[in-house]
Structure 1
């Protein structure tokens, strides 16, 4: 053991705890469509968390700018591009 590997996986277990705690509740989503919508919301919050984005700020900015964006630049509205686009517009 050279010290580069962790002997536990607490970080991974803790990141999955929310999913494990809610697993029983997900059985009662009401319908397959409702379960898919819940999964989309979880995915949205996960990508915001991954890219250090405040979901409220992203939604507010997107709703304010969606009518002015060219369809070729629609990827500028993706959460993972939010910080980069904000930096470019503030220059």
Structure 2
């Protein structure tokens, strides 16, 4: 997966989480960030990696997100691994 595609998936995940009444408070609680803070950091690859890490904490979140966006279930993890500083050799 290339960097542009990974960033696009991460931004889709951020928008999806922000629109979800269950997940947005959990993200805020986990990070201490407001939605405004998230908007300000939306172009930061490290922040985007954090969004994907949060999404990947729960299989049911991954499934819902991917189903709604027509993505394979491994897309969020592949996107995470494609972001700068996240590359790991063991992920196919």
Larger radius of gyration: 1
TM-score w.r.t. structure 2 length? 0.29
Instruction: Flag the structure with more relative contact order, 1 or 2, with Cα contacts below 8 A and sequence separation at least 6.
Output: 2
